Amino acid sequence: MNADEFSDASGDDRLDASAKRLLDAWRTPTRWRYWSAVNNSEVGLWYVVASFTFFLFGGILALLMRIQLAIPDNDFLTADQYNQIFTMHGSVMMFLFAVPILEAISILLLPEMLGARDLPFPRLSAYGFWCFVIGGVFVCGSIFFGVAPEGGWFMYPPMTTEYQTGVGVDIWLLGLSFIEVASIAAAVELIVGVLKCRPPGMQLNLIPLYAWYILVVAVMILFAFPPLIAGDLLMELQRSLDWPFFDASRGGDPMLWQHLFWIFGHPEVYIVFLPSIALIAMIVPTFARTPMVGYGWIVLAAVGTGFLSFGLWVHHMFTTGLPAISIGIFSAASQAVAIPTGIQLFCFIATLLIGRVTKSVCLLFTLGGLATFIIGGLTGVMVAVAPFDYQAHDTYFIVGHLHYVLIGGTIFPIVAGVYYYYPAVTGKQLSERLGRYAFWSMLIGFNVSFFPMHLSGLLGMPRRVYTYPAELEVMTLNLISTVGAFVLAIGFVIFLFDVLRSKKNQPLAPRNVWNAGTLEWLAEVPDKPWGVRSIPIVTSRYPLWDQEGFVEDVDAGHFYLPDAEEGLRETLVTSVVDAEPIQCLRVPGPTFLTHFAAIFTGGVFILSTYHWYSAAAISGLFAFITILTWLWTGTAWIPEKQDKDVGRGVTLPIYVSGSKAVGWWAMFITMLGDMTAFISLVFGYFFYWTTHDDFPPDGSTGPGWIWPAVALLMIAIGYVATLAARKWNRQNHAAGFYAAIVCGVVCSLGGAAAVLYGPFTHHMDPTAHVYPAIVWVLTGWTALHVVLGVVMHVYCAARRAAGRMTARCDADIVNVTLYWHFLLLTTAITCLVIAGFPMVAR
Amino acid sequence: MTETSERSGVYSGVNGNDHGSAIWWIVAAPSVWAAHFLASYLTAAIFCAKFADSDRSAGEVQMAVMAYTVLAMVILAGVGWVGYRRHQSGHDGGPHDGDTRADQRRLVGLSTFLLSCLSAVATVFTALVLYFVGTCH
C-alpha cells in the first residue's frame, strides 16, 4: 500500500464512464435538499454531531452540579433545580449520548469496514436519526421551562407515580420511549448489516473485530430495550389512566419497575461500553503494526460479556430485601462477567507487547481509557459483593465507580476513535500537540474529580442529594472533585476546539494515514460518496496489509459492482456464514418522507405528554399514512430484469424474498424485540403472582376461558389464511389469494374483538386492582398486534392488485407471514396465561 | 453451492447456501448458562416467595439447582468437546485467519470451546451460591 498516493479532489473529469455513472448514482443532494440525504456517510455524520451536542449539554449540567456541591450548604441551585439537573444529566448521557454515539459511529463506519456502499436500510437509519433529534430536543428543552423530570434516570415509583404529578415524568417516559424507536431501528440496521452486507469472502473468521462487537451489541439492544419500553408503557398507563401497576395498595408492586428497568439498565452499560472497546480493537492493531492477538478470544469476550451482562440486573437491587439466594446468584454473575471483560484487555496488551508500537494521541487515549476502566472494574467487583454494597449503595462510592467505567471504558476510547477516524471522514488530521494537551488535562482532571468520590462515599455522603452538612467532613474532597471536574472540562474544550477549528489551510491527509489494514481505510481523500470504487473480495483480516495490489484493484474497479448502468444505488448482499454473494441489492436514495414520518411519530409521543390525546391520534394517523407511503413507494420494487451481471462473471438476482432477503431479516429481528417486550409484560403477570398470596385475587371473575379460546381459534384461522395466501400467491392463483386475505381479515378482527370481550364481559375494572389491569394490558397488546396484522393483509392485497407484488416477487406476503408466526405465538401465550393460569392458581 | 478456491475467491453467483449452522455453535454454550441461571433464579425466587417460612431451609432449591447444574455441565462438556475437536482439526495451530472453510470452522470451534469454558465457570459460580446459602433469609 502506497500511503503517499491520493486521488485528486477535482478528478471527476478524469473518471471513466463507469465511474461517472457510479458517482452520479451516489451523489449527495445539494443546497436545502442536502437534508434529504439518507446515505450512511451523511446520516452517520449528523448522528455523531447531534450525539456530541447532547454530550456537551450533559457535561454542562454536570459542572452545575459540581459547583453546587463544592461547599457544604451551598445555595447555588435549589433542591428542585438540582433534582432536575441530575436526572437530566444521567438521562442525557445514557439515552442521548452513549447509545446514540455508538449507533452514529457504526452507521458512519460499518459499511466502510465491510466494503459495502451503504447499510441495507438507509431510510430506516435516517428515520431513526430524525426521531432521535426530535425526541432529544424535546426532552432536553424541558429543563429550560423548569418542568424537567426529577426522578433520577431510573424513575423509581412510587415517587414518580404518587409524588411527582407534574409533566416531567411523562416527558421522560414518552420522550425516551420515542428515542428508543431510534435505538431499535439502528439495532435492526446493524445486525442485518453485519450478517448480510459483508464483502464476498469475508467469512466469520475474517470479520473485523468492530463488526463482531457491534453484532453482539445490536443483539443486546434488541433484548434489553424492550423490557424498558414495557415498563414505560405500564408506568404511563398508571399515570394517565390510573391503572395500579406499581401501587401497592391496589395489588401493584413498585419492585416490578425496578426489575424491568434494570433488565434494561444493566445490559445498557455494556451496550455503551462494548462499542468503545470495539474502537480500541481497531486502533490497537494499527498502532502495534501487527494483527490482533487472540481473535478467537476476543469473540469469546464479546459474546460472553453480552450474555453474562443480562445476569447482573439485580445487583442494582441488593438493598431491596430480596431473598439471600437471589442476591447471591446475581452477585456470582457480577463476579463472573469480570472474566471475559479481563480477557479482551489482556488481548490488547499482548498485541501492544508483541507489536512495534508507534506513538500517537489515539494510543494515549486508548491506554488512558483502559487504565481508567480497570480501576472502575475493580471497584465494580467490590460492589458486586453484596455485604460491601449494603454499605456503599446510594453513596458517592457508586458515583465514582460508574464514572470510572463509563468515562474510562466509553468516553476515552470514543475520543481516541475521533482522533483515529477524523482523517477518514474529513480528509484532515487533528493536531497531535493539542491532542496531548487535551489528553493530560482530561486524564488528570478526571482522576482528581472522581477518585475522591470513592472516599466521600465511604465517609457516608449520599447520592442525589443537593447538598451536605459541614459536619460530614467531606468538604475538602468535594472541593477537589469540583476543581478536577473543571480541569476535565478544559480538556474537552481543547478537544472540541481542535475538532471544530478551521482547517482550510491545512494540507489533506494522505490516504490511509495510519497505514491501517482494514477496509474502511480504502477511503479516498477527499472521500467519494460511493463508499468504495468496487466491492472487493476479501481473503484476510487485514486486506490492505496482506492482499497483493488490493487498493489498486479496488480503485481500478476490478472487483464487483464497479458501475451503475441503471443509475441506481446498489450494494451486494452475501450469505450469513460464508459471505457468498447472493443478491445485488438496490438501496433507496434521498427522501423527505423519513422526516415527516419522524415528525408525526414524535407528535404521538409529545402530544400525549400534555394529554392532548385527540391531537396525538391525528398525528398517529398521519404517521401511519406516511410510513405506509414510504413502504409502498420505497420497498420491494419489482426490478426491470431478474438478474444482473455484477462483474467478474457473476450474475446475481436483484429481487429475492424469504430468508435470503434483508427485509425478512429485518422483520425477524424487529419481531424478536417486540416479543421481548411482550414477554416482559407476561413476566409482570407472574411477578404479581409471586409477590401476592392471592393472585388472581379471590372473588375476581374473568376473563373466563370461553372468549380467550374463541379468540385463539379465530386468530389461528387468520394465521392459516395467511399461509394459504402466501401459497396461492406463489402459485399465481389470484382468486384463492384474495379469498384467503378476506378470510384472514374477517377472522382476525373477530379474534381481536373476542380477546377484548373476555375482560369486558366480566366487568374487569383496570383501576380497581392490578389483576384486571394486567389482563387488559395483555389483551390490548394482543388486539393491537392483530389489527396491525390485518393492516398487513390489506397492504399485501393492495400490492398485488397494483401489480407491485407478483407470484415471483412476493417479499411482502412472505414477510407478513413471518410476522404472523410471531402473532400466533403472542396470541397463544396471552390466551393460555389469562384463561389457563387462574384455573391452575386456584 | 460453489466451492471457493483457496486464494482467489471465484464465485459463480448461483449459490448462497451456507455451510452448516456455524454461528449457532458460538451461542450454544452461553445459552446453556443463561438457561441454568434463569432456572436457578426462578426456582429460588418462587420457592422463597411462595413456600418458605422464615426459619425453613431451602433444601429443595439446593437439590433442584444441583440437578440443573449436572445437566448444564453435561451439555457444556458436549458443546466444548465439539468445539475443541473442530479447533484442533487439521492441526494448523495458527490463528485460524486463512480464507478457507476449514479455517473458518476451526475459528468457530475455538470460540465455541472457549465460550463453553467460560459458561462452565459461570455456571459453577451460580451453583456455589446454593452450596453456601441454604436459606431464603
Instruction: Report the percent of chain B where pLDDT is more than 90.
Output: 50
Q: How far is B109 from chain A (nearest CA, A)?
A: 9
Residue with cell 383496570: A766
> Which mean pLDDT values do the consecutive 10-residue runs of chain A (842 residues) have?
38 75 92 93 96 97 97 96 97 96 96 94 95 96 94 93 91 93 91 95 94 96 96 96 95 96 96 96 96 93 96 94 92 95 95 92 96 96 95 96 96 97 94 97 98 96 95 96 98 97 93 94 89 93 94 93 92 92 94 96 95 96 97 91 91 92 95 97 95 85 91 98 97 96 97 96 94 97 98 97 94 97 98 93 74
Partners of A631 in the beta sheet?
none
CB A188 within 8 A of CB A670: yes
How many CA atoms, within 13 angstroms, populate the side-chain half-sphere of residue A80? 8
At residue A118, the 3 state secondary structure works out as coil
Q: What is the gyration radius of the CA atoms in chain A, in angstroms?
A: 27
Greatest extent of chain A over all pairs of C-alpha atoms, in Å = 84
Residue (of A157, A158, A161, A177) closest to A238 by Cα position: A161
- Indicate whether A642 belongs to any domain: no
Global pTM value: 0.95
Chain B CB within 8 Å of residue A431 CB? no
Query: Inter-chain contact B15–A575, Cβ cutoff 8 Å?
Result: yes
Least CB-CB distance to B18: which of A323, A575, A646?
A: A575
Query: Inter-chain contact A540–B97, Cβ cutoff 8 Å?
Result: yes
The nearest alpha carbon in chain B to A295 belongs to B95
pLDDT digits 0-9 by tens, A770-815:
999 999 999 999 999 999 999 999 999 999 999 999 999 999 999 9
- Segment B13-36 shows an average pLDDT of 78
How many CA atoms, within 13 angstroms, populate the side-chain half-sphere of residue A323? 30
- When pLDDT is cut at 50, 70 and 90, the band that residue B10 belongs to is low
Model confidence at B3: pLDDT above 50: no
Model confidence at B15: pLDDT above 70: no
CB A529 within 8 A of CB A27: yes
- Indicate whether A762 belongs to any domain: yes
Specify the CATH number for the domain of residue A59.
Answer: 1.20.210.10
Residues constituting chain A: 842
CB A575 within 8 A of CB B18: yes
Number of domains in chain A: 2
Q: Which of A500, A531, A560 is the last residue of a domain?
A: A500
Model confidence at B9: pLDDT above 70: no
Q: Which of A455, A476, A500 is the last residue of a domain?
A: A500
CB A513 within 8 A of CB A533: no
Query: Inter-chain contact B8–A537, Cβ cutoff 8 Å?
Result: yes
Query: Inter-chain contact B115–A651, Cβ cutoff 8 Å?
Result: no
pLDDT in the model for residue B134: 81
- Indicate whether A631 belongs to any domain: no
- Indicate whether A444 belongs to any domain: yes
Q: How far is A645 from chain B (nearest CA, A)?
A: 9
Specify the CATH number for the domain of residue A748.
Answer: 1.20.120.80
Contacts of B12 in chain A (CB under 8 A): 650
Model confidence at B101: pLDDT above 70: yes
- Indicate whether A828 belongs to any domain: yes
Q: Which of A480, A500, A520 is the last residue of a domain?
A: A500
Residue with cell 472533585: A481
- When pLDDT is cut at 50, 70 and 90, the band that residue B96 belongs to is confident
- Indicate whether A781 belongs to any domain: yes
The nearest alpha carbon in chain B to A687 belongs to B46
- Indicate whether A767 belongs to any domain: yes
Contacts of A331 in chain B (CB under 8 A): 129
Instruction: Say how far apart CA B133 and CA B137 lie, in whole Å.
Output: 9
Q: How far is B71 from chain A (nearest CA, A)?
A: 18
Query: Inter-chain contact B44–A652, Cβ cutoff 8 Å?
Result: no
A positions 556-595 inside 8 Å of B (CB): 575-578, 580-582
pLDDT in the model for residue A701: 79
Contacts of B31 in chain A (CB under 8 A): 307
Helix axes A396-406, A432-458, angle to 10 degrees: 160
Contacts of B23 in chain A (CB under 8 A): 204, 576-577
Domain assignment of residue A481, given as a range:
39-500
Buried b (16+ CB within 10 A) or exposed e, B59-72: eebbebbeebbeeb
pLDDT in the model for residue A527: 85
- When pLDDT is cut at 50, 70 and 90, the band that residue B99 belongs to is confident
Contacts of B5 in chain A (CB under 8 A): none
Query: Inter-chain contact A295–B96, Cβ cutoff 8 Å?
Result: yes
Query: Inter-chain contact A323–B17, Cβ cutoff 8 Å?
Result: no
CB A557 within 8 A of CB A19: yes
Least CB-CB distance to A340: which of B26, B104, B118?
A: B118
- Indicate whether A43 belongs to any domain: yes
Say which DSSP state A302 is in: H
